[in-house]
Structure 1
Amino acid sequence: MRRFVHLCDHRRMTHGLASLVIRHTHRVPSPEGSAGDGAAAARQFDAALMSVGFKLSAELLARLSGLSEAAVVHTARRTLRAVSEMVGDHVRHNAYFIDFPANVPDTEEFWISCVAKALDDDASRESVLTQLSHGVLNLLTLPTYGRYQHTYEQLLAAQEELIASAGDRVTVLHLGRNLDDELTGLYLALAGSATPLGEEHLDDLKILAQRCALGPQPESIPVRENRAVVNEARLMAGADLLLDTVTDVLRLACALSGGDVTLREPTRFRSLPRPVRRALLAGLDAVIAANPAKLADVHAHREPFKRLGERLHPHEYPRWPHAAEVFAVARGEKEARSFDSRLERLLDGYDVPGAVRLLESAPGKLFRALDLLLRIASGQEERNAVVAAAVRVAPQVSGRVVLSVREHFQNRERETGEPRIFVNRRGRGRVVLDARPPVPAADRDRLVTALDAEIRRRLPAPGRLLLDPDVLDVALPLSGRAAAAGLGVLPRGSVSAVAGERLRFFTYWKQSAERTDYDLSALLLHRDYSTDAWLSYTSLKNVAGVHSGDVTEAPDGASEFIELSLGRVRGTFIVPQVNIFSGEGFDEVEESFFGFMLRDGEHKGRPYEPRTVRMKSDLRGTGRVALPLVFRREDDGRWSAKWLHLYLRGISSANRVEENQVSVSKVVRAVVEREYLTVRYLTGLLADQGTAVEVWDGGRVPDEPVTYIGLERPEGLHPDSVVVTRENLRDLIPD
């Protein structure tokens, strides 16, 4: 019996790992099983995939057709489960109004009908009459308000069948390598990423690191959070740790305690086993022995180091005296003058030449201080020195930072007083008016030219470059936190075309412990960002669209929808949002996500149809108002989407579109008018250095190896091709 249980656990783990590969790469690990005639089962599998907007590549279909029927069924079950979760079809999406989008009543008419039904109900009549006598009525006390009045099966029976359309989404699943090779490749890609990973991908890296810690490793792990996750797995596996700063050890301690390796949130350190304590102290000792100046890094995280020292008991290990010095600095018992304090003193005295000389020893800090240095410089000579120093140290700065600074100065051309957006690592957005003095145009242009030259120098020769034009306006993922996990998601600032007559948003949430009410709304803005109208539970319909009805609790999960006829929208911008009216936050519910669908006039079908879904993203951020993206009518009348991935603080309860329309419009303006570095920018640099950029027209792909950049991998690419799609856009960021 024990052996059988172990076998079941192994199969569940294998299924989970295979799903992880499918989710990240859109490849199915090479199916295993005995040979046979699985062609019929493979075709049935392909048809089932088509119903949720996926299909098998010709190569994968051929591979499955040569296996036994049992092997095909095994692969189909695992894959269908994975893609259903990717698109949001693993849950039931009911709508309050059973005929949605048809027969949605006016708001007042609906509320009056709810009151009438409550007055006909003996259990609620007295309460409603009392409330009405006081002139205020709580809708939540009405028996028919906010709770489904029909089952999911009844909704299906009331809806007409979806009519297939050539515009339906089709995401191709390709044949991958064996599972072990796919997992190793994914581990190397995530661990060696040049940009920080989102929380979901960091969790996936942790799973992979536990399996791959003793196998092949990336040449470098430049992102410190990734290194902490890998170090945790290496420590448990008995491998050497990758440490070169005291903060690396602190992050590792946070990982071991189940805390936040990004150091954004305080970690409550656990009591650690003696071997683990020895490993952490030995690591600290080695870092300081190699470079005593790194003691100054303790100042940035003094409180966490003090708490960690209470758990590690360094006084019990006199053989590592340098580790004890770390905690002495944290407690203020030993002086270690920090780099930042020396820099602050120079900047306070407007000593730009001195600050530049100091910062040249820390190239990344110099790049982050360039704007300030150029603004406080006393004359052209000092500004020349700043630009010259930036050019000298540029080769030592990470590609991500060089690109971030390049994007920053690109946006400094705008006039002072324009809105400026700040976004933290959890997606919380805040807008302020830019009160900084301008950077002199000549100095800014010289710096931008130098940064372009540095990025151009780092770009690898791609050979034959094949480019999908739909990817040109996708923003470079300078941080993995600039996009949520999901299907069809693009980084913040990306622009993508929207083609269809009807635009339908949806949100789903399932509460964990307390009654939770999320409200899907849409704010319609004019070209000047002033409000035209909105759709929400307080405004169920207008000339442009309809709302599916308010659901106020989700013990078994709940969905809300908004449908808009794009031809009837009067304004320029459509801003979908999810407001937390009451209950658990986006990080607290069991599950929550947002997405949108596109349909033609005769599509019909259920409120949620997976093959019409263009995007589905998880809602996992701080704040009480989620802003996934904004839709914009272009000058030629066509529509596009610009990706936001933002959360606003909101208020503790009763967030409503009517109350936050001003703050939302400010955020939308700040993102819409900001210029982001895109794939177009990088391919332009490649073209400047002589690379022939071949635009793919969707037809036959070359027989020879190419470098392909696009939203989806086309079928038939040579197996030796380098492929960059939305799933691995981070690979475009040069080292």
Structure 2
Amino acid sequence: MSHPLEHLVVRHTHRIPSPSGPAGEGDVVARQFDAALMSVGFKLSADLLAHLSGLSGTTVVDTAVRTLGTVREMVGDHVRHNVYFIEFPQNVPDTFDFWMGCVTEALADDSARERVIAQLRSGVLDLLTLPSYGNYRHTYAEMLAAHDELIAAAGDRMTVLRPGGAPDDEVTALYLALAGSPAPLGEEQLRDLGILAGHCVDGPQPEAIPVRENRALVNRARLAAGADLLLDTVTDVLRLACAVCDGDVTLQEPTRFRALGRPVRRALLAGLDAVVAAAPAKLADVHMHREAWKRLGERLHPHEYPRMPHAADAFAVARGEKAAPSLDSRVEELLGTGDVAAAAELLTSAPGKLFRSLDRLLRTARTQDERDAVVAAAERVAPEVLGRVVLSVREHLHNRAGNTAERRVFVNRFGRAHVASDVRPPLPKQEREHLITALDAEVRRRLPDVGDLLVDPGMLDVALPLSGKATASGLGVLPRGSVTPVEGELLRFFVHWKQSERRTDFDLSALLLDASYRTVTWLSYTALSSVEGEHSGDITDAPEGASEFINLRLGAVRGTFIVPQVDIYSGEGFEEVEESFFGFMLREGEQRGRPFEPRTVRLKSELRGPGRVALPLAFRRGDDGRWRAKWLHLYLKGHPSANRVEGNRVTVATLLRGVVERDQLTVRYLTDLMTDGGTAATLWDGETVPEGPVTFIGFEPPEGLHPDSRILTPKNLRDLIPA
């Protein structure tokens, strides 16, 4: 019998929990399962194929049906990807000729002729009023019949599925990994953690839950089960209340608190009362989310619980009826008087806040003694700061070596981005370098002994996942700032969306820039073809789902950068549509095949962010002529409607320059620190597998690794972040 959460294990770990069933001769069915997987770019490991071959055919079939559904959705093959031009990328017409053809057909249509003539006389033609524009003109089956079969190539993606343990053990292990993650999780991971926490509430729990959002979801499950809550700040209580009301546990968006039952109100107030009673100074944290506390108080009715006076104090602070000076206000007061050393000393009571304030403190310090005091305070509290914060500050200091007036990229937790000139004065060189050395030593101290290290060279420039918010959910997705090589002759982008309630038009475009970030050309519905490639045609309505594609010949690209983007022309936003995702494929020149071939998909990334323009990643041609992808995961505000690549070229180019010119901390940084401590490191040649156990860091672990090896792939790369 299958486990109800098996699909989460497959999606997060690429392992299939060991199916339970009678022994048998399932080898034929297992091979058929493997062949079906390979058609979508997956396959069974040798161990898993052997295990399934020893089970009954019925058991293997049941496993295959469940797994195929999961992996097809992972790669984006669960929907029908049709194209407007049936033979795309062949026979894509010239843009003007195509538009004139649509006009001619409209003039021959009695219901449209008069309206089109009136538009032509006015000099402005609305393409959306042409009957033959924007809607599929053939069925999916007819489109498939117009294309040859894909020719297999050695470079096709092949993601290996490996055998897992007992289903309950696999689910528990996934829960512990997500709940105990040292870095914040992405939206999909948080949603899955909420499901897993409810299932695993009575089982093993992580030793620590360093990320507060994770703790809120675990506490929601514990509250429902009547277990003790994990609370040590007043904000923990607020996050839990948001979780109970299915709101935003990150506290970035307001939660609509609903009426709560008496047991829930009593538990929340009791937890809040205990936190404040143990440390009254924590009431100061109420100021950070004062309005949320006011709204929550209206639902919790603290006046009904006179035996919990400390809980009532929190709401009194929110209403301004009780004083609770915040740490921030006290720091501002000291800085206002010019006492930087005292401000730094005060911030040592909140080590993470001190680290995030280092840039400002060093810029504000006027004397060498003050700068020395700031550096000394940081060194003293460094062992108490979360590893991801240490790494974030280390990355920040590295990028503060430049001069003034350079570009500064601002990205919020939801991927919304904008660029401004950096008018901050440079940091004093001596203190900046001293802190970098100290932080490197602190990170090195925390790194575990990994034994022999085997590293896929392609992983070295993958950015450390310091926050899941910097990574969209999907297949083959890497953290923002990662750089990976691109191999292949043809690069094909795709976007798919399905509207929820109203007509929605997404437009896929590709902007080509030169080395100075100037526009060379673009491909979009307004420029269907060029020497570089072709656009599949504009679809303007997606009640049953719609797809658009761009095909690029990398050898023909004029310029240095390729920037795909998805613009919302009209209708629902990325977070309103029923489904939307972006991806790209890589093919060799003679592979042919359908517009969408799952075996060639390298990336499938969910589009679920704010703004009306999505920038998933960019491609850059290096001095060696090779192309590399730079992962962005960014959203621009855009306009309420009619967003087009022509209208945001300058904004995109400016943002891209700011991102490209910023250095990220990568896997290379940590492996260098590991080897500096005497660990033997080997760059994997893609073939040789050591006999003994190793720590392997790569995209896909090789067959034959010692069973005691530790494997780190993009799926669990967050485990590299020291606690």
Same fold (TM over 0.5): yes
* Equivalent in 387, 390, 394 of residue 402 of structure 1: 390
Contact 2:698 2:713 in 1 (8 A): yes
Give the letter for the 2:402 counterpart. R
Paired residue for 1:70?
58
SS at 1:466 equivalent:
strand
Amino acid at match of 2:312: A
Q: How does 1:694-713 map to 2 (within 5 A)?
A: 694-713=682-701
Match of 2:647 among 654, 659, 680: 659
Partner of 1:729: 717
Residue in structure 2 matched with residue 422 of structure 1 by the alignment = 410
State the partner residue of 1:295. Answer: 283
1:549 aligns with 2:521: no
CA deviation after TM superposition for structure 1 residue 468, in Å: 1.1
Structure 2 residue aligned with 1:236, among 221, 224, 228?
224
| Conserved? CA contact 2:492–2:550, under 8 Å | yes
Partners of 1:446 and 1:357 lie apart in 2 by: 19
Aligned to 2:44: 56
How many angstroms apart in 1 are the aligned matches of 2:673 and 2:569?
Answer: 47
1:338 to 326, 329, 337: 326
Residue among 308, 311, 329 paired with 1:323: 311
CA RMSD, Structure 1 to Structure 2 (Å): 0.9
* Alignment partners' CA distance in 1, 2:19 and 2:621: 45
Q: 2:445 aligns with which of 457, 460, 468?
A: 457
Equivalent position to 2:343, from 335, 352, 355 = 355
Question: After the TM superposition, which parts of structure 1 deviate over 3 Å for at least 4 consecutive aligned residues?
Answer: none
- Does 1:486 find its partner at 2:486? no
Give the SS at the match of 1:436. Answer: coil
Which of 608, 622, 627 is the equivalent residue of 1:620?
A: 608
Equivalences for residues 510-589 of structure 1 within 5 A: 510-589=498-577
Cα shift at 1:719: 2.2
DSSP 3-state at the match of 1:581: strand
Please tell me whether the aligned partners of residues 403 and 425 of structure 2 are also in contact (alpha carbons under 8 angstroms).
no
SS at structure 2 position matched to 1:419:
strand
Secondary structure in 1 aligned to 2:503? Answer: coil
Q: Secondary structure at the match of 2:716?
A: helix
CA distance in 1, matches of 2:269, 2:275: 10
Q: Deviations over 1:45-71 (max 9, x none)?
A: 000010000000000000100001100
- Once the two structures are superposed, residues 660-697 of structure 1 have per-residue CA deviations (whole angstroms, 9 ceiling, x without a partner) of 00000011111111000000000000111111112211
**Offset, 1:81:** 0.4
Structure 1 Cα separation of the partners of residues 336 and 412 of structure 2:
26
Counterpart of 1:192 in structure 2 is 180
Q: What amino acid is the match of 1:139? A: L
1:282 is aligned to 2:270: yes
SS of aligned partner of 2:359:
helix
Does structure 1 residue 376 correspond to structure 2 residue 364? yes
Residue of structure 1 aligned with 2:196, choices 208, 220, 235: 208
SS of the equivalent of 2:708 reads coil
- 3-state secondary structure, aligned to 1:518: strand
Query: Distance in 2 between the 1:451 and 1:351 partners?
Result: 25
Q: Alpha-carbon deviations, 1:88-113, whole Å to 9, x = none?
A: 00000000000100000111000000
- The separation in 1 between residues aligned to 2:413 and 2:350, in whole angstroms, is 23
Give the unaligned 5+ runs of structure 2. Answer: none
1:250 aligned residue: 238
Cα deviation 1:20-75 (Å, max 9, x = unaligned): 11110000111221110000000000000100000000000001000011001000
Deviation at 1:466, TM superposition (A): 1.2
2:600 aligned with 1:598:
no
SS of 2:47's partner is: helix
Q: TM-score, normalised by structure 2?
A: 0.99
CA distance in 1, matches of 2:202, 2:129: 59
What is the CA–CA distance in structure 1 between the aligned matches of 2:198 and 2:53, rounded to whole Å?
34
- Quote the residue 1:126 is aligned against: 114
How many angstroms apart in 1 are the aligned matches of 2:630 and 2:143?
Answer: 33
What are the superposed Cα offsets for residues 377-399 of structure 1, whole Å, 9 maximum, x if unpaired?
Answer: 11222111111111111000000
- What is the deviation of 1:582? 0.3
Find the residue that maps to 1:122 and give its secondary structure: coil
- The TM-score with structure 1 as length reference comes to 0.98
- Secondary structure in 1 matching 2:316: helix
Instruction: For residues 157-191 of structure 1, give each alpha carbon's deviation from its aligned partner in whole angstroms, at most 9, with x where no partner exists.
Output: 01111111111000000001111101100000000
Distance 1:53 1:506 in 2: 17
1:83 corresponds in structure 2 to 71
Q: Which residue of 2 aligns with 1:6?
A: none
User: What secondary structure is seen at the aligned counterpart in 2 of 1:275?
Assistant: helix
Which amino acid is 1:409 matched to?
A: L
| Aligned residue in 2 for 1:25 | 13
Q: 1:107-153: per-residue Cα shift (whole Å, max 9, x none)?
A: 10000000001111112111111211222111111111000000000
Q: Which moved more, 1:37-46 or 1:699-708?
A: 699-708
1:445 to 433, 440, 444: 433
Letter in 2 for 1:594: F
Distance 1:716 1:230 in 2: 37
CA distance in 1, matches of 2:353, 2:187: 25
How big is the shift at 1:277?
0.5
Structure 2 counterpart of 1:351, one-letter code: D
2:282 partner amino acid: K
SS at 1:644 equivalent: strand
2:34 paired with 1:34? no
Match of 2:134 in 1: 146
SS at match of 1:727: coil
Letter in 1 for 2:38: M
Counterpart of 1:255 in 2: which secondary structure? helix
Q: Choose which of 158, 161, 167 in structure 2 pairs with 1:170.
A: 158
In structure 2, C-alpha distance between the alignment counterparts of 1:256 and 1:39, rounded to whole Å: 48
Q: What are the ranges of 5 or more consecutive residues in structure 1 without an aligned counterpart?
A: 1-9
**1:133 and 1:526 mapped to 2: Cα distance?**
39
The Cα shift of 1:485 comes to: 0.4
Count of aligned pairs between the two proteins: 723
Structure 2: distance between partners of 1:315 and 1:498: 62
- CA distance in 2 between counterparts of 1:351 and 1:438 reads 21
1:704 Cα deviation (Å)?
2.2
Instruction: Find the aligned partners of 1:30 and 1:701 in 2 and give their Cα distance.
Output: 25
For 1:726, what is the secondary structure of its paired residue? coil
Question: Aligned equivalents of 1:348 and 1:555: distance in 2?
Answer: 58
Structure 1 residue aligned with 2:352: 364
Q: After TM superposition, give the deviation of residue 349 of structure 1 in Å.
A: 2.3
Shift in Å, 1:562:
0.3
Structure 2: distance between partners of 1:261 and 1:167: 42
Letter of the structure 2 residue corresponding to residue 600 of structure 1: E
Q: Percent identity?
A: 71
Q: CA deviation at 1:713?
A: 2.0
Q: Distance in 2 between matches of 1:497 and 1:266?
A: 41
Q: What is the DSSP-based 3-state SS (H/G/I as helix, E as strand, rest coil) of the residue aligned with 1:413?
A: coil
> What amino acid sits opposite 1:180 in the alignment?
D
Tell me how far apart the structure 2 counterparts of residues 366 and 161 of structure 1 sit (CA, whole Å): 60
Letter in 1 for 2:695: T
Equivalent of 1:629 in 617, 624, 648 = 617
Task: For residue 348 of structure 1, report the CA deviation from its aligned partner.
Answer: 2.1
